[in-house]
Amino acid sequence: MPSFLARRGVANLTLAIVCVAQFMVILDVSIVNLALPSMQSDLHFTTSGLQWVLNAYTLTFAGFLLLGGRMADLYGRRRLFLIGILVFSLTSLLGGLAQSGAQLITARAFQGVGGAMLSPATLTILTTTFTEPKARMRALGMWSAVAGAGGATGVIAGGLLTDLLSWRWILFINVPIGVLTALAARAVLAESKLEGQRPTLDYAGAFSITAGLSSLVYGIVSTDSHSWGSAIVLGPIVAGVLLIAAFVGVEARHRHPLAPLRLFRSRSLVGANVIMIGLGSIMFGIFFFLSQYAQDVLGYSPLRAGFAFLPMPLSIILGTQISSRVVGRFGVRTMLVVGSAIGGVGLFWLAHLGVHSDYLTHLCLPGIVTAYGMGTTLVPVTMGATSGVAPQDAGLASGLINTTRQIGGSVGLAVLATVATSRFHHVVVSEGAKAAQTAGANLALLSMSGVAAVVIVLTLLTLPRRVRPPAPTREVREQETLTVFESA
């Protein structure tokens, strides 16, 4: 009995440590949005430059996420967990101390690398610790609840810390939590790694796709101040395309590629990943533009803006919970069409903001509709990606679509910010800064509504009519949960 209680105590401590770490990773996605206007003012970001605070994190997180999972299997989950949380904490400290936009963006890029090592390790440690099915389901339920709380808490915490202290504290807060979690992990967590055949690591693939996407986004963002035909725009875009092509070549030759090309023989998987690019651009874009509009145009404090947007992450969670229960009845294709249609209507409603808009009718209600619709799409799009692949590839396919969401968010945000900035410059001379920023946000939101319409068309063209949710493996369930609650 004492031995059983001791093992149970260690397991519960392990669950607590893993949940705190994942809470940090999820929190850092949503907590930044409410601090963006303060960062812009303090570090003199341009509108196009400000998006790199998000893109630097998401591009490196996406580029190294699959590699991080492989490294955890190869070198040990406990080791990668400790390295990941220490990198995450140290770069949070450096970001909080940043005295220029370049320093902050660099810190955020390395913070994304830390998150890419930490996030997959949390799930693997949890599933190797809780091997009994009922205990594992309870642990996954707790992990999911904490991850969901991270998304919702980030909206309030970002406003609270920025309002009462400084935007720097949204990064500083990670440091004491990370250090204490690392000390606890070092004392409690047991080491585990993959036995038998061990994969070689695809460093070339991770670096080429990250560099390629970063270069592509940089070229798109540069259109803010240069023409599309200029060398400073075309150069990075061409380099990005070449690096992405090099990534495909690496994947074709590597013994253990991050994204095996055989996966892309599945029409459903390709379609679902293209759809996720669109959905990712919408989910990243909404908070980016609305947080600046609420503070810079309506004059909300960061804390008030946090409470104003709280219904949106809660609506995302509600949408995912409902869709996961009814997708078996209606099917993946139907749920994606319905969710995208609801989200598109909400975005079209949002795209009528004014300099003196009413909160309830112009922000709250359309925001709830949009967030609910987007939440409804997350589970079915992941199921669509895994339905057309072999069972042994289901976990990899599910991890791939989570990576695609991050990529879609970064590339999509770059395009949307370019559209909004162009509109801003056309309006600002005649109508002033607030009217120009409102016009830019409206055009971006209207463009997102158009993206939702394109998602509906792609769903009808690429996903077979009779696609039903597959019997998910453990890895698929874990990645579905991660995708859902990162979006909240």
DSSP state string for 51-66:
THHHHHHHHHHHHHHH
Distance (Å, whole) CA 52 – CA 396: 28
Transcribe 100-120 into DSSP letters. SHHHHHHHHHHHHHHHHHHHH
Distance (Å, whole) CA 458 – CA 452: 10
Distance (Å, whole) CA 416 – CA 444: 6
Distance (Å, whole) CA 302 – CA 297: 13
- Taking a C-beta distance cutoff of 8 angstroms, is the pair 408, 279 a contact? yes
Distance (Å, whole) CA 471 – CA 452: 28
Query: Of the candidates 396, 341, 415, 412, which has an alpha carbon nearest to the alpha carbon of residue 374?
Result: 341
Query: Of the candidates 46, 7, 16, 6, which has an alpha carbon nearest to the alpha carbon of residue 421?
Result: 46
The structure tokens listed for 43 are 């570090």
Coil vs helix vs strand at 208 = helix
Distance (Å, whole) CA 14 – CA 69: 19
* Strand segments (E) across 345-406: none
92 φ, ψ to 5°?
A: -65, -40
Residue for token pair 């090592």: 117
Taking residue 42's Cβ as centre, other Cβ atoms within 10 Å add up to 16
With 0.85 as the threshold, say if the pTM is over it: no
| Burial call 88-107: b when 16+ CB within 10 Å, e when fewer | bbbbbbbbbebeebeebbbb
Query: Of the candidates 193, 258, 245, 282, which has an alpha carbon nearest to the alpha carbon of residue 397?
Result: 258
Residue 107 falls in which region: left (phi positive, over 0), alpha (psi -120 to 50) or beta: alpha
Taking residue 235's Cβ as centre, other Cβ atoms within 10 Å add up to 14
Per-residue pLDDT of the chain (488 residues), as tens digits, is 444 434 556 777 888 888 888 778 777 777 787 888 888 888 888 777 787 888 888 888 878 877 887 787 778 888 888 999 999 999 999 999 999 988 999 999 899 889 888 877 777 777 777 777 677 667 766 766 666 666 667 777 888 888 888 889 989 988 998 999 899 888 888 777 666 666 677 788 888 888 888 888 888 877 766 777 788 888 888 888 898 899 888 888 888 887 788 878 878 888 888 898 899 889 888 888 888 898 889 988 888 888 888 888 888 888 887 887 887 788 888 889 999 999 999 999 999 998 888 889 999 999 999 989 988 888 788 777 777 676 666 667 767 777 888 888 888 888 888 888 888 888 888 888 888 889 989 999 999 999 999 999 999 988 876 654 444 444 444 454 445 444 44
Q: Which residues contact 402 (CB under 8 A, 6 or more apart)?
A: 65, 382, 479, 482, 483, 486
Coil vs helix vs strand at 465 = coil
Transcribe 308-328 into DSSP letters. HHTHHHHHHHHHHHHHHHHHH
Q: Which is it for the CA torsion 358, 359, 361, 366, positive or negative?
A: positive
Distance (Å, whole) CA 283 – CA 278: 9
